[in-house]
Structure 1
Amino acid sequence: MKLCEEMDAEGLHKFISDNRKNLSFIREEVPVALRSAVNPFILVLDSLKGFYAGEILGSNGKKDGNLLGLRRTCLMLMESLEQLLADSLSDEQILTSDIKEKAKVIAKEWKPKLDHLDIEASSGNSLESHAFLQLLATFDIASEFDQDEICTLIPAVTRRRQTVDLCRSLGLSHKMPGLINVLLDSGREIEAINLAYAFKLTEQFAPVPLLKSYLKEEGQKRCHKSKLEACLLTEINERELSALKAVIKCIEEHKLEEQYPVDPLQKRILQLEKAKADKRRAAEAAKPQSKRPRATGSVYTPRITSMPDKSFYRAPPERFAYPYDRQYVYAAEAHHPTLMGSAPYTISPPHTTYYGNGYQVQYQTAYLH
């Protein structure tokens, strides 16, 4: 609360980031804390400065966790601020035209970054689109932008729980039939049905026929499965499995069991999961078994028959078949000065300068004192 009283946007970001494990508690406390700010709207606007400070996806293909966390915090602060609009605020805390102008500047900076958004790739869960739409709703500047352009961003956020309230805040309720048709044309029947229920459009968009049509389309993709590559067939099976689970969840959420029994769908899920498990076991069984280690704990390695340049090795690397064939090599002696009065220990040279395996003996020169 002190951070809000001091209008410390950076400190507020750090506090939320450090306490992200208690996010549910933070969500409850932030609206209360914002009320203690001199002007909560200015505080939240200040917190948005680093939203596009970099790219979420790095050159290594990994997401920047810190930037992702910052953007989520920005979104949460805007959502919390919108809750205050329903309550009475002091004259100093109201949303003034000057604050709206500042919010509009930020929105105009963010909008071009969404122009090339891949709606399909976002899977209805785009954080950046949600933040832009929330900015328009929280600071009441939606009228400054073309409504049809705003509508094009809704399919990018339809899987987010705040979508329905966001659409109402942006004054898009009358646009819902068109948006639902867009979702249906994209094969996103589940999201379309959820919106139809939220905006009381189920007579126009009957849920059960849409759900059956959705599963039928997924099933048709398997009709030529014998001609498909194994990897593609696996992907189709996964998609059908996900579709079945999504349909069952939709049926249960909207209490459609009498119109659309789930037992046949659950049986189909069991079939697909069994086939998936069988395939995984078969793949594991087909893997080559690792060689059994010897009793000594070492793993057998084949005898090396071709030798690289012998000058590379200090000692002969040839592996002998029997212990008595091995050439025993002594460790090099440490060269220390001999003790006074004692004779140096010497070894007379052998009769030949070659080992039995053909490598010439190389004697080290005497250590000079």
Structure 2
Amino acid sequence: MSIVSCPLYRPGEVTEAVRRAVDLLGGIGRFIPAGSQVMLKPNLLQGLPPERAVATHPEVIRAVALLLIQAGATVTLADSPGGGIRYTSGNLRHAYDAAGYARVAEELGFTLNFSPGYSVRSHPDGEVVKQFPLIDPVLGADTIVSVSKAKGHILTLLTGATKNLFGVIPGLEKPVFHARFPEPERFAGMLLDLHALLRPALHIVDAVVGMEGDGPTGGDPRQVGVILAGTNAVAVDYVLCRVLGMEPLDVPVIRAAVARGWLDEKGADIAVLGEPLEHVKVRNFKKPSTYRGEGKGIREKRFLRALYTLGRVYAMRPRTVRHRCTCCGKCAAICPAGAIRIERGGAVIDLSRCIRCYCCHEMCTDNAIMLEQGIAGKVMAKIIRA
């Protein structure tokens, strides 16, 4: 991966910094063949003005899009806003305008996605998740280029290259995933499964100005002064931690990647090109208030518990179709929460223990386990649609 100094968001300087960061890795042609359909994935979140340091800065988006267009790629910028925002055309339009992306797209001639469609893609090799709902531009692209924002995060400690891909989960499906995986370790495992499924070609991090404190939206802008680029999201985040003065193994997704053998715990397998780390490290970068200290993990807050609860209510739940169940026991064997037992009349699911991983539904070859919303979830869905 590479690090290039970029102290300000001056258009020419950002363009040169992004180009140099990618050239250090071998040039854009190494990752994006001419004629490719590329989905450009920013950190859009709520679509707030650039000075808030919440979304990827539009000058960085401009620089990356220009690089892709000059390489002969067709570019579509797409994301699904977070923070409980519905995935609709109107909300996308508002977010693109507020973040400054609509203006850049008009100037350069690339496409903004306004379609709220999404589909479910199977991921049989996933260790935590076997299927993901994904926004349509993901499914129509040859590859993804992720352009994230360097920020602290109250749930994951860091949001950078790896966490950015969570934005391809559509709208209010995100709280469902938070509810299914409330523990940081399992949420991290889910993120790794998502990366293994989609395999973005390139990760670029906007760390010209990052966010310290209680990100992803409630922190404060902090000058960092660099652009990072790499092909391995977790390796990029490992080095980003070093730049921000965080212990990488305190970040759940990095720790999970080390456990899977994706990364050496000391970062010995990461080659850093460009600026030496010692020259770009930030002093006294403020950590999120949920951070309990080195090696002590992340403290849960009340609103996160509320998010998990609402997500569980809204989420689909498994139900046994008794006349189809052959009592084969596959669902009970696969259930990681031990929430299923086999009785004479069929599989019995304890919803109080169910973690909504849906492994039972995916494993059943007799189509005997269906997914449906409970009464409260259906009411919530009607309210959301309204």
TM-score interval (norm. to shorter)? under 0.3
Q: Indicate the structure with greater helix content.
A: 1
Q: Indicate the structure with greater strand content.
A: 2
Structure whose alpha-carbon radius of gyration is higher: 1
Name which structure has the greater RCO, CA cutoff 8 Å, separation 6+: 2
